[in-house]
Amino acid sequence: MFLNRRKLLSSVAAVAASLAIPSIARAEAEDDTSIWDILAGNKRNKAVGEKNNIDALTIIDTPEPILSFDTAYSVELAINYYQQVVAAGGWEQPTRQTFALANGKTGRAVINLKRHLMLVGDMERKDRVRDDFDDETDLALRKFQVRHGIIPTGKVDEPTFYAMAIPAEQRLAQLQLNAARIQSLAGALEERYLLVNIPAASIETVQGGMVNSRHTAVVGKIDRQTPILSSKVHQIKFNPYWTVPKSIIEKDLIRYMNEDPMYLTNFRIRVFDGKGNEVPPESINWQSLDALNYTFRQDPGGENSMGHCKIDFYNPYDVYLHDTPSKGLFGQNSRFHSSGCVRVEGIDTVASWLLADNGGWDIDGVHAMFATNENVNVPLKFQMPLHTTYITAWANRQGTVSFRDDIYEYDAAGKVSFES
């Protein structure tokens, strides 16, 4: 049975609340360490953390695509290991003392944390386990975090606590289900393609059986899901206009205008009637659905909701890949914010790769087009295959096993095939 994350997170919140000690009581419990010693320790831990982040990220940096026979083989090895873990009783659940552990902490909870990290392969196994959270433990915890798509902080924060609380039996089931998905797709892929993995909110550009580049993405909300499909990218639009979809007008735009009547003006969104005539926003009755009778179009530029680039592919859902002015979203643990479209970090790299067959295009040419703010459409001479898929567990040739949340609950439903 798959764990309900919302129930678990509510218990995590309770743990966090129970750990909130008043500052006076906390000060009384501390020793006589000077503020200068504390600052020096913080500086040292920050330097250790920065180095450990680099080292941790290397465990997921391998060239094989997520949909490949290499990955399928690595997943089978992971399944064999997790079967042994489950047969041996799995791992202990984290406790309230586990929450917020970080470098410099000590205690029984640190021993339990280390044992967990050893069991899942993030830390070298040892017969005797000390109770101090040291630099080695910091690195191991960051490895755990990057494997689970969590920003590596070196601290047992809420998403890390949640990931550790998933039982070994569920992780094994997750691997088995995704092994079937990967096997069913790996043999039908082209020599070049673009892949969006929805649960990981990530993108791979693949060429010659190897990953050319990987990108962080933002994908559809739970109630506005990014569709699973296979298609072809046929056009790149530089500095696009954005026509607001009817669904967003109804669900969002009307509310925004009631909250701030200057919203359209501030974001350079113009209004047109059915004859193509521009009309003032105040002529619309925002207390009704009158706005659905109009077209709302945002001018090109840095504030445009699609940023400087839109990547079009054939589909009946009116979704596409695009740039975004909201770059801060790429730095979040949970990146499910869109209305079905996919926002791409480093879209300039993706665009230049897609334009390789058009001749005369490189990354500098893409940047130059961005800078013009001029709306230009470029059809692709080679229409690049694109696949959106749903893989929540996989492994690579280094033996690194990665997991993601079952955000759309397809794992819970046991879905292997997504053909309509």
Grade residue 360 by pLDDT with cuts at 50, 70 and 90: confident
Please say if the pLDDT value at position 14 is more than 90: no
Over residues 1-21, the mean pLDDT reads: 40
Give the burial string for 225-238 (b: 16+ CB within 10 Å, else e). bbebbbbbbebbbb
Grade residue 106 by pLDDT with cuts at 50, 70 and 90: very high
What would the pLDDT profile of 130-174 be if each residue is shown by its tens digit?
999 999 999 999 999 999 999 999 999 999 999 999 999 999 999
Fold exhibited by the domain 5-61+91-166: Muramoyl-pentapeptide Carboxypeptidase; domain 1 (1.10.101)
What would the pLDDT profile of 223-256 be if each residue is shown by its tens digit?
999 999 999 999 999 999 999 989 899 999 999 9
Cβ-based neighbour number of residue 50 at 10 Å: 10
> Tokens 């090109």 belong to which residue?
300
Range in 36-50, 71-85, 237-251 the model is least confident about = 36-50
The CATH-assigned architecture of domain 191-392 is: Beta Barrel (2.40)
Distance CA 79, CA 83 (A): 6
What would the pLDDT profile of 253-296 be if each residue is shown by its tens digit?
999 999 999 999 999 999 999 999 999 999 999 999 999 999 99
Distance CA 192, CA 231 (A): 13
The phi and psi torsions of 174 (rounded to 5 degrees) equal -60, -45
Please say whether the beta carbons of 271 and 278 come within 8 A: yes
DSSP summary character for residue 293:
G
Element (H, E) at 271: strand 269-272
Please say if the pLDDT value at position 420 is more than 80: no
The whole-number pLDDT of residue 392 equals 98
What would the pLDDT profile of 164-213 be if each residue is shown by its tens digit?
999 999 999 999 999 999 999 998 999 999 999 999 999 999 999 999 99
Q: Where are the domains of the chain?
A: 5-61+91-166, 191-392
